[in-house]
Amino acid sequence: MQPSIQKRSCLVVLGLCFVTLIADGFDLIIYGATLPSLMTQWKLEKSALADVHSLTLLGLMVGFLIAGPLADRFGRRIILLGGCTWFSIACTLCAFAPSFQMFGVARVIAGIGLGSVVPSAVALTAEYAPRARRQLYNGIMLVGYSVGGILASIVALIVLPRADVVAAAIPPDESWRILYGFAALFLVALPIMYFKLPESASYLHFQGRTEEAEILANQFGLDFDEIKAEKTAHDALNSGGGYRLVLSPRFRLATAVFILIMACTQILNYGPNTWLPSMTKEMGFGGVQGTMALMMLQIGAVIGTIVGAILVDRGGATKVIVPYFFIGAISLLTLAFGADIGAVGIFVASLFTGVGTFGTGALMYGVVAAHYPTVCRSSAIGLILGIGRFGAILGPQIGVIFGSPRAGLLAFMVPALLGAALFAFLSVITRPDSRAQNGVGGELAVRY
């Protein structure tokens, strides 16, 4: 097969998974962007909105925990398509919700749908990426999350009126519904995904559908001998799959550390991201500046993810992810003094906050995917992201617990510093000599 055909085929999978992450990022940002409108529409307190956001993230957690093992058992493709359909329908319900209670239920349903998409998207991207560029492909795919956020910010700037106009509008302005209608338009991508997105070749081979697996491997330029060797090694160990393998002695300690690190990244992703527009407003800036800061956060995430993925492929994960956590901590410290640094300073600090928060979280997805074998990869991603979502639930609550924007932003520095320490510890326990001392064998597909 010609190299150009192989490259084009790999990019088909990458592109389709990229689109699914656009929906995820768009959904997250529209909630933060529509908070002022929702508060005015139904005369809500900030705590009620934080509760709905936390319940939505709980739905994401449920989706992760259920969809991961289901994808390993029934295939990544069908779970991904089902989750995308589920999410699109839920966004339609949000757009037409007659009450805050119905809106909240629809948000939770949307969370479950999105949670079922991510494990399969990450696992498929990792499998179809060239071995030497797995982190880069993972980074490009996860940039879809930030691109979705940027698109949501642009649409919000165009569609939503200024905060003072929203507050004074009688009857309440309902432009916010348009943003959730845009999210529902993701449904139009489903026919393309249905006909173009392949199943995991490794999954097919493990299911005994060897001929189908070999055809896919040849079509997409995969090394089928490597796929067969992985199954042979797995059968020899007789270690099962799914959660059984993820929680086996071979991976148990690393899984626990991954969960803690992921919880830190989720606090950093969902905390500042949810409250940044409100925090900037309380610092004395206007609604447009708050939305612009949110957009800069997403631009920083794109830059941080792509640059970080290239560096991880070249030099290993520890040399990149630990400094990224520190960048996040320093940027949050700078944001805490936003009233003193002006709007431009807020924008620059938001950019680097995106590098150190969203960028770090995106790189962690790739490290997790590369750490586990194909037979349990979706389960590992689902379990680690699912339990780690407790951090995403806690993140928005921190903005409520601390009375001032400065105190909240300083509090977000704690998970950044803790994440750096935990990843340094992970790099120690995954060294070949440490793995041998603990009776853990096998080569890892990620460089620490």
Task: Give the confidence band of 1 by pLDDT, cuts at 50, 70, 90.
Answer: very low
In this prediction, residue 409 carries a pLDDT of 83
CA distance 374 to 124: 9
The predicted model gives 135-160 an average pLDDT of 87
Tokens 């959660």 identify what position? Answer: 243
Residues, the chain, total? Answer: 448
* Closest to 447 in 3D by CA, of 369, 392, 386, 367: 367
Count helices and strands in the chain by DSSP H and E runs = 21, 0
Structure token pair of residue 103:
């809106």
Angle formed by the axes of helices 252-282 and 318-336, to 10°? Answer: 20
Tokens 């029934």 identify what position? Answer: 74
CA distance 289 to 281: 8
Structure token pair of residue 235:
């059968």
Helix (H) or strand (E) holding 402: none
Q: Point out the least confidently predicted range of 2-6, 189-193, 262-266.
A: 2-6
* Residue 105, pLDDT above cutoff 60: yes
Are 409 and 251 in contact by the 8 Å Cβ rule? The answer is: no
In one-letter notation, the amino acid at residue 154 is I
Phi, psi of 138 (to 5 degrees): -60, -40
Asked if CATH classification 3.80.10.10 holds for the domain at 3-437, the reply, yes or no, is no
Task: Give the confidence band of 33 by pLDDT, cuts at 50, 70, 90.
Answer: confident
* Residue 4, pLDDT above cutoff 80: no
CA distance 377 to 126: 9
CA distance 166 to 168: 6
Task: Give the confidence band of 177 by pLDDT, cuts at 50, 70, 90.
Answer: very high
CA distance 276 to 430: 36
* Closest to 304 in 3D by CA, of 324, 284, 281, 322: 324
Tokens 């160990």 identify what position? Answer: 237
Burial 360-390 (b: 16+ CB within 10 A, else e): bbbbbbbbbbbbbbbbbbbbbbbbbbbbbbb
In this prediction, residue 437 carries a pLDDT of 41
* Residue 355, pLDDT above cutoff 90: yes
**CA dist 398 to 63, 275, 333, Å?**
24, 10, 16
In this prediction, residue 232 carries a pLDDT of 84
Question: Three-class SS of residue 448?
Answer: coil
Task: Give the confidence band of 30 by pLDDT, cuts at 50, 70, 90.
Answer: confident
